Every structure is written in C-alpha cells, then in structure tokens.
Structure 1
Amino acid sequence: MPTAAVVQAGSVPFDIDASVDKAIRLMTEARDNGAEIAVFPEAFIGGYPKGSTFGAPVGLRTDDGRRQYERYSNGAVTLDGPDVERLAEAAKELGLFVVIGIIERLGNTLYCTALMLDPGVGIAGAHRKLMPTGSERLIWGFGDGSTLDTMDTPLGRVGSVICWENYMPLLRQAMYAKGVELYCAPTVDDRPTWAATMTHIALEGRTHVLSACQFITTDAYPDDHPFEVDLPYGSTAIRGGSIIVAPTGEVLAGPVYDEETILYAEIDPTAKTRSHLDFDVVGHYSRPDVFELTVRTEPRNSVSFD
C-alpha cells in the first residue's frame, strides 16, 4: 500500500530562503522513507506570528505594529515567484505530491494558503483560507470559493482545509462533494481537542485525514519578536499534535507533541469504499429534499474591467 507522510516541524520565521531549504530537506526525508505524498503545517513558509498583536488595539494602530507587519509581509511569497518555483521543482525531482502552508502575498494583501504541488504539473491548487480566525483577520485576507481546489494523486483525490476552517460544516460538506479521499488539514491548533476533530471528520467524510501542525519554540523567532501574551506552553510556541486517521476513525499515527518529527502511515484506498456501506454524507445518507448547499466557485474580485 502507498505511504503518506505528515511533517511536524516549525518554519523559520521571516526567512523565506531558510524555510524553503528546510521544506525541501524534509520533503527529501519523507520521500527517502517511501512517502508518495507529504503534508506540511499551516504557514510553514512565511511563519505564524504566534503571540503578536501588530499594535492593533480597538480603535488604534501603532507605528511599531506597522513595522511588524512590514517584516511579516516581506517574509511572504507569491505564487509565481522563485520560492514557490523551488518548491515545485523539488516536488518534481522527488516525484512527491506536496501540500504545504504558505503565507501568500497578492497585491497588497496576505493570504494563508495551502499550496498543492503535483510533480507532473507544478502548482495543482492553491487554497486560500476562507475564514481567518480571530485576530488573524487583521493580517490575512479572506479566500473565496474559486480556490476550493483538489488534485488527483496515486493515493487518491487530495483536498485541503486549513486549521479552524475545519469547524465550518458547509466547507467540509463541499470538500466531501468534491470526492476528497485524502483530507489534508494543515494547522497550528495544538490543543488536545484537535485529535477529536480530525477523528470526527474522518468518520463524517469516510476519508483519510492527514493533519500537520507546527512544532516551534520561542527561540526560533527573532529576539525582537513580540510575544505580547503569556503562551500556554511556556517556551513552546506551537507544540504539534499532528495525526493521521483512517476512514474508520482508526488513528494510524500520532498525535505527537513537543518534537519535530515526520509521521508515516500506509493508505488503503479501498478502506473508503468499504466504509461507505452504511454512510455517505453526500450520497445515500443525505436528504437533498430537505437540505441543499450551493457553493459559489467563481472568483470574487473587487474590481472587474470589461
């Protein structure tokens, strides 16, 4: 059976080159251990600014906060830039399908994006987080339905839902309707409750779930990075909790905390088929006569030129 890898590691905050180098090293390690697909955490390229407020109390913005945002923006990447090209080229050379979280810069707005790399075609998808959580809305824009991308791999159809998007039932339903077979959940949610969410989704969608969370300590950030609140795990900024779950709800690997590691699991494509005997949330267990979901997949641009 084919093997999937979930990478639990931290980015190199504000350093694009070093983060890309680290990603390629971990991609190579996963492929050397037999993986055909590797899933990386949310914001692996560009970083997750845990504990920062960007100088934005209600009704005010500070000059220091704007400088923090400038540094964060300078650490983001563009889809057509050389950094993404390096990642895509590495995936091609390794023959590895990759899902990796990036901070994407488009114009003057940043997006939390899950990049999907196909070794044969390059960028197969780029899902922009539809709903940034809490104060993430200050620094990230909102994606739209045009980036609910999936891609075919030898292990099955892959889709990506980022962090707390997984608590949006209609988004999950849309992904199930797209036929997702490997449901990838890049995240920075390191709470113990995350494993229960991933298990629920595996059972609900009858899909393999591959969730990758960062593990990163405060000393990985620059000395002047402002941790403006007390972190719940002390010097550990994000503690991991990555996990792989089968369509039956069986945990195949993880959750693992407090270390960098790569989780591996064999993926049985027929397990999904067997598990649909008694449950298909978009098929025989749905009630379209009562419930209906409409998904708008056209790009939503603020300005259109005829």
Structure 2
Amino acid sequence: MVHPFKAAVVQMASMPDDTLATAVNTAARLREAAANGARLVVFPEALIGGYPKGASFGAPVGMRKIEGREAFAHYHSAAIDLDGEEVSVLAEAAAETGAFAVVGVIERNGATLYCTVLYLDGAKGLVGKHRKLMPTAGERLIWGLGDGSTMPVFRTELGVIGAVICWENYMPALRMHMYHQGVSLYCAPTADDRDTWLPTMQHIALEGRTFVLTACQYITRAAYGPHHESALGDEPERVMMRGGSAIVGPLGRVLAGPDFSGETILYADIDLDEVIRAKFDFDATGHYARPDIFHLSVDTRAKPAVSEV
C-alpha cells in the first residue's frame, strides 16, 4: 500500500457542445492535479457529454414535442463511445501521470445513453465502469438504467476504490454493497450542489468509515449553446451548477471544501490507517453487521437487452 498519499477532486465545467474539447480539458486537469502530487483524481458526474441542467426535452406527461426529439438527438451526438477518442485522451493522461482517475461521462450504447463513471488506471488504462442504477426524476427520460454488473471496486496500491453517482448515494443497499466490497476510497461524482449534499457525504463517511471524495461541476449558462433549454434562465452569467466539491475523512471531518467559488482543484492527504482507527468502534459490515438478523442479496449479473422468453 502507498500511504499516506495525496488525492484530488476537480471542480470544473463541461463544454456540452464540444465533447472532445471537454476530454482534452479533463486530461489537462488530471495532469495538473498529478503534477501537484495527486495519485487519485475524481471528476464530476456527466462531465464528458454534459449534464443538461434545466432542460425538459419537450416531454409533458402523455406527449413528446418535436423540439424535444431534436434536443435528445443533439444530446445523443455529444455522448461518447467507450472505444472512442475521448477515452483515449483520458487514458493517455492517466498513463503519463500514473494517476488513477474517476471520470463521469455520458456513455452511448446504440440509441440508449447511460450516466457512467469510468475508472482509469495509469498502468492499465480503462479498467472498468459503473452505470448509474437509478437516474433521478427527469433523468429517467434521457438515461437508461444500469444493472448489477457494473458495481465494481478496484483494489489498488492506494486502497479500494469505488464510485457511487449522485442520488445513488441515497440507496442504502447500494452503499452497503460498496462497504461489503471493502471500499476505502468512496468516490461520489455528483450534480447535486445543494447545501444538503455535504451532510450526506459526511454521513456516508461515518457510516462506511471510508474516505469520501465528491466532485460537482461549476458551470454557467454561457457554457451551454444557444439551443439549450434552461428553466433556470438564459443570462450568460447564470450559475447552473455551483460546485460544492469536497473530501471527507472516515470520521466525518471535512478535509477539503466545500468550494462554491468557481472552477478549482481541491486536495487532501489520505492515510488509510485512519480507516482502521475509525472502524474501532463501528464497522458496518463487521462487528456491527448482525448477519444473524440481516442479509443483503445483490444480483451482479448483466441484464439482457431483450427479455428472454
């Protein structure tokens, strides 16, 4: 194990109309964080491909407007294929720096889009992904539902790395599955910039006795093209997501952030011995688990695209 080490969360804006440029920007921020000593770097939800904040995709209950179909076609064109140039750009930066990166993307799989997190190992390239299991509210219109086959953790020299996206963090069974897999570096890419998000992250850190690294975009209306429908307003300076990225220790202490001031990179020193010290009096999957009473069953099989008869 390499410890202590430095970790970083990157608070930055997507370029929703230029996916490759966003990937290049992301790679530059990865290089910057690594140059400042970071070995693990976490990026926001839907960074590459974009989070369409404030858009309705023309879908009142019981009908779909033509402009909504056009909006979805535009959004679909901005998503990425996992064998595409954007992933190559990220993998090259990870290889160059030796850092482990966790990056939120919009993944294209045929006509269906997924809100996905990519795991990039500096020595191995793209090593895995997690598709968001349950898109929130209107997100269900534009993103497919992930399944249990993409809920991995990665045992690295830094620690056990896993990721849970945005409001998946309010799914107790999913959190417990991550704890059961031994996660010690719990990554939470998000689009939630509300004041209630940091207490959620502190709760998870305390519950799982894990380091929590959460990254959110800081993005204004100007970053979106003129075609974008915004229920938040169209003034170029309108803040669409205000950040709030943070790093929390395994006893709930905030080590970095939250930051609402603009694009930035936050750093914290990680000592995994703190995880063991924290579990002295509470271990959710150990001496506090009560397996004689409770049992968690997780189906990690991939679901077929077409129902089997």
Give the TM-score taking structure 1 as reference length. 0.97
* Alpha-carbon distance between aligned partners in 2 of 1:15 and 1:87, rounded to the nearest angstrom: 15
1:217 and 2:213 equivalent? Answer: no
* Alpha-carbon distance between aligned partners in 2 of 1:45 and 1:94, rounded to the nearest angstrom: 20
1:110 and 2:113 equivalent? Answer: yes
- Equivalent residue, structure 1, for 2:38: 35
CA offset digits 1:190-238 (Å, max 9, x no partner): 001100000000000000000001000011111221113459xx81000
1:153 CA displacement: 2.8
Q: Is the 8 A contact 1:187 1:211 kept in 2?
A: yes
Q: Is the 8 A contact 1:155 1:267 kept in 2?
A: no
1:278 and 2:291 equivalent? Answer: no
Q: Equivalent of 1:84, from 84, 87, 99?
A: 87
1:55 and 2:58 equivalent? Answer: yes
Q: Is the 8 A contact 2:211 2:247 kept in 1?
A: yes
Q: Equivalent of 1:73, from 69, 72, 76?
A: 76
- Equivalent residue, structure 2, for 1:26: 29
How many pairs does the alignment contain? Answer: 304
CA offset digits 1:61-103 (Å, max 9, x no partner): 0111111111100000011222112211211111110000000
Q: Is the 8 A contact 1:97 1:153 kept in 2?
A: no
* Alpha-carbon distance between aligned partners in 2 of 1:229 and 1:6, rounded to the nearest angstrom: 26
* Alpha-carbon distance between aligned partners in 1 of 2:157 and 2:87, rounded to the nearest angstrom: 23
Moved runs in structure 1, 4+ residues, more than 4 A? Answer: none
- Equivalent residue, structure 1, for 2:271: 268
Gaps of 5+ in 1: none
Where do residues 286-305 of structure 1 align in structure 2 (5 Å cutoff)?
286-303=289-306
* Alpha-carbon distance between aligned partners in 2 of 1:130 and 1:25, rounded to the nearest angstrom: 29
- Equivalent residue, structure 2, for 1:182: 185
Q: Matched residue of 1:295: which SS?
A: coil
1:304 CA displacement: 7.8
- Equivalent residue, structure 2, for 1:124: 127
1:152 CA displacement: 2.4
- Report % sequence identity: 56
* Alpha-carbon distance between aligned partners in 1 of 2:231 and 2:132, rounded to the nearest angstrom: 25
CA offset digits 1:42-72 (Å, max 9, x no partner): 0010000000000000011011111111110
Q: Which amino acid aligns with 1:69?
A: F
The range that moved more, 11-20 or 103-112, is 11-20
* Alpha-carbon distance between aligned partners in 2 of 1:80 and 1:174, rounded to the nearest angstrom: 29
Give the TM-score taking structure 2 as reference length. 0.96
CA offset digits 1:216-275 (Å, max 9, x no partner): 0011111221113459xx810000000100001111000000310000000001000111
Q: Is the 8 A contact 2:232 2:240 kept in 1?
A: no
* Alpha-carbon distance between aligned partners in 1 of 2:7 and 2:89, rounded to the nearest angstrom: 22
1:16 and 2:19 equivalent? Answer: yes
